[in-house]
Structure 1
Amino acid sequence: MSQATDARKIPKESYEKELSRLQAELVTMQRWVSETGARILVIFEGRDAAGKGGSIKRVMQYLNPRSARVVALPQPNEWEKGQWYFQRYIEKLPTTGEIVLMDRSWYNRAGVEKVMDFCTPEQYEQFLQQAPLVERLLVDDGIILVKYWFSVSDQEQEKRFKSRKKDPLRRWKLSDTDVASITRWADYSRAKDEMFDRTDTDHAPWWTIESDDKRAARINTIRHLLSQVPYEQLAPQKVKIPARPTDDEYARPAKESHRYVPDHASTLK
């Protein structure tokens, strides 16, 4: 079994300071994306409880949701199962001036579907042949494609699973498939290795993020993502806030005529 890293975790104060700086850069990057019409697709993959969700949350935290979105598709329904495998993902690709973060992607077929026998050997092999071709088409069409693999040790993964089990706010994150990944660790490792061998290409390489330290993983993810986009600092449009006009003819209705949410917050003082 692999060993959890012993590296000292980033101090909270240093983490928050750097995170704030990088998130400001993400906002700058998004402005460039919107102004230039660039299209950004970021794929987040990795073992269960590897920290993908936390990193996605920090990337998205201050971005404008009108031009940045997260795609996390559920299991395909019967109608979708009859489609070309990539079809429902293709529908979610970014349009002009948009950033899309995929919380898992078409690589489900090379991971959980392969290990849990949710696809046939023929479907699996066809996917490994087609994925590099599909990604080549995306890149050739001008999409900036970045693929991240979050690598977590077996000890840290188990620790996070146990933490989720005890936490009612995160219990939903612990599925039967997640738990099965503990006993199928070696199978998932072999599947990941073959996926890398077949789909790590010059036009769409895999970037590995060590994620036993969640803070470090988030910082490293954002910093690297910024380095993959050739954005420039654009001067923001000048905004002039006008003086508020007076309207002596307007009379606000009596408060008693409206329904107000009870002030529960006042009971906490």
Structure 2
Amino acid sequence: MSREGGNMASINPAEPQPQSHNRWHVEILRAEALAQGRKWSQAITCLKRAIRAGADPYRYGLRIAEHYRALERWKEALSFAEQAAALAPQEMPAYEAIVAIALETGKFERAIEACTALIKLNPRHLPAYTALGHAYMHLGVTDAAMRVTNILIRLDPATPSHHFKKALLCQHHGEVGLAVYELKRTIELDPGGPHADAAQDALQTLDAFQLEQIVTLAQEDRVFRTKLERDPEDALNERGFALSDYGTQVLSEWVSHPFLAAQPHGRPMQYN
């Protein structure tokens, strides 16, 4: 292992010695100055000296992890964050560092473990829930991601991104009605914002996809077509469709002017 890649055990503080506080304090100051100049490797060396001279191995071990992260030396960064967590298992910063590094390096199982530890320490740790849902999504565990998203919405109902994520998960699970509801909720919570724009785009895509299915079904199924003319809402609910307000308006116009259905790319298939 390289000179800078040693484990925490090799730099545990030694027995107190005369002037040791002054020695490690000087090393910390040097490390801070070097870090300001983005000289991460030299800063790491100073921090290791400081820990050997008696500086707090948890606090400055975490700082070493941050510097390794800046260098994109992920193995060393994760190692120092893990060792910091072992030194102080009731403190959250080390677990937060582990989560960040694990997500950046695709170690999603480890991110889940660290998020779980954070949530045990603080059951309302919103960033931990957000990261947990992200990790589950990357692993394809969508049921768990949905559970986490529901918790986020319960704890923080006014944040539009939670509702947008739930909409995508609902769509993935085939729960179209819930997806449309959550997309509408996203737009309400973030009017004119980026999440609202993304939700509007998603609604348009979802509407266009469903409208094409509805038109095809109405052309092929006379019973469905009759129900659609008499009670559109009931007919759509019965078949599991759910449109936005604008999508419902487009469908209503199509039902009133069925000749448009003869056009493969006619109005019902175009949201805008």
TM-score (norm 1): 0.22
Structure with more strand by fraction = 1
TM-score by length of 2: 0.22
Greater relative contact order (CA < 8 Å, ≥ 6 in sequence): 1
